[in-house]
Structure 1
Amino acid sequence: MLRQHKNTVKAAIRKEGYWTGFLVANKVHPAHINGLWCLGMKVKITSLEELENIIAKYAYYNCNNELGNRVPFYVQQK
């Protein structure tokens, strides 16, 4: 998994019209995002407004002190 900055995600949405990747709490190891534990959520985001809404909803339901309170972005390496 390759971590991406929020500005990179926004640029991809503007350029390509969408971004596909994983959202996960920041304390989760990248090996557990799409692996055995499946702690990441795969998303396809098509607008900047949708990006903000998905981040807020994901953080509300999935982030805590144990897993982390921030939401980083990951894509699968090719």
Structure 2
Amino acid sequence: MVKNKVVLKERDAWSDLANFIGEMVAKYAEAMDLDSLPDPDHYLLMKRIKQLYVEFYKEKNIEKFRNTKISIERKVAA
């Protein structure tokens, strides 16, 4: 039984598809066990931490390598 239903005043080409998807999700929500899905906020937080970590070490390594002097020796064949 669907408790909440959205009624659109204006219908467009996508209305029927949106209604179909909404009805399918409502009908099979319990079977899909949507409550057991991982928390998206945790995923987004971990993704942001990884991005900051990569940016931090990229900048740190660039400065480190700019200040590093590398000696180049050529091997001369005798």
TM-score normalised per structure 2: 0.25
User: Which structure's residues are more often helix, by fraction?
Assistant: 2
TM-score normalised per structure 1: 0.25
User: Which structure's residues are more often strand, by fraction?
Assistant: 1
